[in-house]
Amino acid sequence: MIAYLEPLKLLIYGERAIPGTASSGFGGFCDCGGMMTQKTWHQNGNLKILVSECENCWKIEALVFDGTDVIGREEVRDFKRNDLKEFLSVLLSSTELEAVMNKLEGERYNYSAYNRAKKKLENIGLNLEGLISEIIF
């Protein structure tokens, strides 16, 4: 899954969270014929990835650049603040997600499941505390 975490401007690409630099301006044309607006640029090794959003259908795409050549165009699943729990549910087991949610709500939680969740996110370069501080319901 290629995912975009809107509140953190992070692109999850190749099992790695890549921070982005905010941008604006023309981002190409969408399949629907609409104009796309640049959101963020992400550096992935030698490649640059542009995340842009269609102003007509709100689809989000990632364009992969090698220099000035576009070598890939991929649809991106967008997660806004109120979707971040869903994002975690894709990555984590139900026990891990429950531990994270319990901790977030100030309840007793399964410490080892929470730590496993934290480790899983760290492995792709995500900070669990930073992520859950952005969650809204």
**Interface contacts to Zn ion, rule CB under 5 A:** 30, 32, 34, 54, 56-57, 59
Shortest Å, Cβ 136 to Zn ion: 26
Question: Taking every pair of C-alpha atoms in the chain, what is the biggest distance, in angstroms?
Answer: 52
CB atoms within 10 A of CB 116: 16
Shortest Å, Cβ 38 to Zn ion: 15
Cβ nearer to Zn ion, comparing 56 with 133: 56
Shortest Å, Cβ 53 to Zn ion: 9
**Are 9 and 38 in contact, with CB atoms under 8 Å apart?**
no
Task: Give 42: exposed, middle or buried? Use CB within 10 Å, 0-12, 13-18, 19+.
Answer: buried
Cβ nearer to Zn ion, comparing 59 with 118: 59
